[in-house]
Amino acid sequence: MAEHRTMQRAALLEAARTLLSQGGTEALTFPALAEHTGLARSSVYEYFRSRAAVVEELCAVDFPVWAAEVEAAMERADGPEAKVEAYVRRQLALVGDRRHRAVVAISAGELDAGAREKIRAAHGGLIAMVVEALAALGHEQPRLSAVLLQGVVDAAVRRIELGAAEDPERITEAAVAMALRGVQG
């Protein structure tokens, strides 16, 4: 029985990823989750009390997976500049990944304070990964620099997500250039 519940919960999360990546937070509704999984709407409520609860669980499951991918890319990089580059490139390479798209859609959504706090904490963990590399590059305020660098990454993610006029590869190269050389071009 417990295994069956685990499978249904996983199916609901997978349906939530699909809905979020296709239609953003507005698409994530309990009727849509029920329809995608073949469960009765009342059954969806047995697993999650609200949309925010679905979102929180998705963040808890998905964010660490892609944060680990970013961290692994940084560990393979040699030297602080290469680590910063890997930090930017890996996040942008993950934009097409449904887990990432779901988390991005969530971040833009209107959530309760608890869910927002979990997302903030997860982002904080991501930012913490690059602080050491920025300190090694001589930044006087590496934490502030990391937050600003993540702002560049987030802007590039949004640009890619929007299907901007530029090719995603050009957006990535521009974000890497901004990260490594600032506005010097």
Domain ranges of the chain: 1-48, 58-183
Which residues have CB under 8 Å from 75's CB, separation 6+? none
pLDDT band with cut points at 50, 70 and 90 for residue 108: low
Residues 1-58 pLDDT 10s: 778 888 999 999 999 988 887 887 788 899 999 999 999 999 999 999 988 888 888 8
Report helix angle 98-108 to 51-76, nearest 10. 120
Q: Over the stretch 122-141, which tens digit does the pLDDT of each residue have?
A: 778 888 999 999 999 999 99
pLDDT at site 162: 77
Percent above pLDDT 90 for the chain: 51
The pTM assigned to this predicted structure is 0.78
CA distances from residue 82 to 6, 47, 75 in whole angstroms, order as listed: 40, 43, 10
Q: Give SS3 for 122.
A: helix
Whole-number Å distance between alpha carbons of 74 and 69: 9
Assign 64 a pLDDT band (cuts: 50, 70, 90). Answer: confident
Residue 166's φ and ψ, nearest 5 degrees, are: -80, 150
CATH number of 58-183: 1.10.357.10
What rounded mean pLDDT belongs to the chain? 87
Answer yes or no: are the C-beta atoms of 103 and 19 closer than 8 Å: no
- Fold classification of 1-48 (topology level): Arc Repressor Mutant, subunit A (1.10.10)
